[in-house]
Amino acid sequence: MLNIVLFGPPGAGKGTQASMLVEKYGLNHISTGQVIRDEIRRGTEIGRSVKERIEHGELASDDIVVKLVADFVDQHKLSKGNIYDGFPRTTVQAREFDKTLAGHDEHVDVMLSLEVPETELVKRLLLRGRESGRADDFSIDVIRNRLDIYNAQTAVVADYYRRQGKYSPIDGTGTVDDVFAKLCEVINRFV
């Protein structure tokens, strides 16, 4: 089974590219951000416990997301491959994720890291905020907070995979199709 970590800052294009990759390669996909937004929308216990943090651009706690992903892994044992979008986002999550996968005799094959300059990210997110109504795209302050948290807590996760020889940087600028072609070039080495 192919296990792909799709990494990158807020607005890098993870969700956009994940849905195209799912289609092309017949993979399954989890966006932890999307799962959390669904929990909030449904008003579940998890949703209520994280709502305020998410709306301010803060991360949910490691325990919560690690468990959400472990459940997904458990439910997708027979998948051809899975794309993990927006997870892991801390080094603790990356270590726990390795343990989760090892429990199924699996491992991360590659981390595809979409690299986009911050000015472009801010532009993309503000634009989407006007269209999508996503609570954490509403204000420039929340967007900045997400980028700061990414730089402070999440960017280091790339080093974790670099040390394992799995880090693959991809230029995330250019058109959606340009970026997709670059991702496919790397994935084709694994399929």
- Site of interaction with ligand AP5 (CB under 6 A): 8, 10-16, 31-34, 36, 54, 57-60, 65, 86-87, 89, 93, 124, 128, 136, 146, 175-176, 179
What's the token pair of residue 172? Answer: 């995330």
Q: Does 47 bind Mg ion (CB under 5 A)?
A: no
- Distance CA(116)–CA(13), nearest Å, equals 9
Q: Does 22 bind Mg ion (CB under 5 A)?
A: no
Specify burial of residue 25 (Cβ count, 10 A radius: 0-12, 13-18, 19+): middle
Task: Quote the least distance from Cβ 162 to ligand AP5, whole Å.
Answer: 19
Q: Closest CB to ligand AP5 among 71 and 105?
A: 71
- Distance CA(149)–CA(21), nearest Å, equals 27
- Distance CA(138)–CA(92), nearest Å, equals 29
- Cα torsion 126, 132, 135, 141 to 10°: value is 0
Radius of gyration, alpha carbons of the chain: 16
Task: Quote the least distance from Cβ 81 to ligand AP5, whole Å.
Answer: 19
The partner in contact with residue 128, picked from ligand AP5, Mg ion, none with C-beta cut-offs of 5 to 8 angstroms by kind, is ligand AP5
Task: Quote the least distance from Cβ 38 to ligand AP5, whole Å.
Answer: 11
Task: Quote the least distance from Cβ 132 to ligand AP5, whole Å.
Answer: 7
Q: Which residues have a Cβ under 8 Å from the Cβ of 61 and sit 6 or more positions away?
A: 50
**Count of chain residues binding Mg ion (CB under 5 A):** 2
Name which position in 15, 28, 56, 64 contacts Mg ion (CB under 5 A). Answer: 15
